[in-house]
Structures are given as structure tokens and as C-alpha cells.
């Protein structure tokens, strides 16, 4: 029986393949492609039980682990070029506009809208679930009037999403 390669190794191989794409394409989409691949690899590992979390363990007390984290941290300026960053900025602008529009008529509603980002946590499936709940609540706000009952509705929806 053949052993499956560790997820970290697969990530390095995928990163090497990304270098084959044109530079402009890599700058625009490389981070998102690598993130998607990593999420998919984590899903497969969790489902098949091949490596579990062991494939993503980084021994930071050793030079190799430190250099890996240092290399990842050096990619931070590229985050603003990613599709995910642009999508998050649109959501933030939409969220802030909702708070500003609700504040004059219902302070409680504006406060509940301001608390909604607490739904978005983590990464992978947890992040996707939180983002889905957040956007669902923002969509509900399109259909309801700004009043104290709306604040209760948003509070109940957010609490339900957190449970």
C-alpha cells in the first residue's frame, strides 16, 4: 500500500506549480489559489483521515519552521491584491453604510448591526459558515424596517447563528 504524501509537501508542490503561471496572474490570483488548495487539502485529510492535523503542524522552535512562518509573513503586502480582500472590503463598506443608515432611526438596531461581524471567525469551513450567516443577516436587513423589533430580530438571528 502506497503512503499518501504529507499535506505540507503537497502545498509546496502546488506552490511550485503556481510559479509556472504568468507573473501578473500569480500576483492577482496566486494567494487565493493557494488558499483554496490548502482548504481542499484540509477537507480531504479530515474526511479520509490520512493526516488529520499532523500535516499542518509547524515546529516553530526549529529554524525550518521559523523560516516557513517568516516566508508566509512576508506575503502580507500581497493580501491587498487578493480577491478575498476585495470581497471583504465590499462587505465592510456595506456593513458600515447599514450602521450609518440605521443609527438615526434606531440606536438598538445600529448596535446589533455593529455586532454582526462577531459571526465571522477562523478560516476554512468555520469562516465560510460565519460569512454565510453574516451575509444572510445583511440581506434580511434589506427587507425589514429600522425599529426596535428589527433590532430584536437581528439579535435573535445572530444568536442563532452562533449556537
Three-point CA angle 107, 109, 113, nearest 5°:
115
Helix, strand, or coil here: 118?
A: helix
- Mean pLDDT rounded to a whole number for the chain: 83
**Is residue 61's pLDDT more than 50?**
yes
Task: Select the more confidently predicted residue: 88 or 52.
Answer: 88
Helix, strand, or coil here: 59?
A: coil
**Is residue 57's pLDDT more than 80?**
no
Local confidence band at 153 (pLDDT 50, 70, 90 cut-offs)? very high
Residues whose CB is less than 8 angstroms from the CB of residue 141 and which lie 6 or more positions away in sequence, other chains included: 98, 102, 113, 150, 154
Residues whose CB is less than 8 angstroms from the CB of residue 91 and which lie 6 or more positions away in sequence, other chains included: 134, 135, 138
pTM exceeds cut of 0.85: no
What does the chain come to in residues? 163
Residues whose CB is less than 8 angstroms from the CB of residue 3 and which lie 6 or more positions away in sequence, other chains included: none
Which triple of cell numbers denotes residue 115?
A: 455586532
Which triple of cell numbers denotes residue 74?
A: 512576508
Angle between helix 107-115 and helix 148-162 axes, rounded to 10 deg: 20
Amino acid at each position: 500500500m502506497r503512503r499518501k504524501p504529507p499535506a505540507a509537501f503537497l502545498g509546496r508542490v502546488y506552490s511550485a506549480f503556481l510559479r509556472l503561471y504568468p507573473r501578473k496572474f500569480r500576483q492577482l490570483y496566486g494567494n487565493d489559489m493557494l488558499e483554496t488548495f490548502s482548504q481542499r487539502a484540509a477537507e480531504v485529510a479530515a474526511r479520509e483521515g490520512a493526516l488529520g492535523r499532523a500535516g499542518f503542524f509547524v515546529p516553530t522552535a526549529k529554524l525550518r519552521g521559523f523560516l516557513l512562518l517568516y516566508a508566509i509573513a512576508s506575503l502580507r503586502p500581497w493580501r491587498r491584491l487578493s480577491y478575498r480582500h476585495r470581497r471583504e472590503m465590499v462587505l465592510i463598506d456595506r456593513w458600515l453604510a447599514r450602521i450609518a443608515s440605521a443609527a438615526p432611526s434606531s440606536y438598538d438596531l445600529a448596535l446589533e448591526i455593529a455586532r454582526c461581524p462577531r459571526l465571522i471567525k477562523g478560516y476554512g469551513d468555520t469562516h465560510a459558515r460565519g460569512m454565510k450567516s453574516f451575509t444572510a443577516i445583511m440581506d434580511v436587513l434589506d427587507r425589514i424596517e429600522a425599529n426596535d423589533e428589527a433590532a430584536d430580530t437581528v439579535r435573535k438571528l445572530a444568536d442563532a447563528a452562533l449556537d
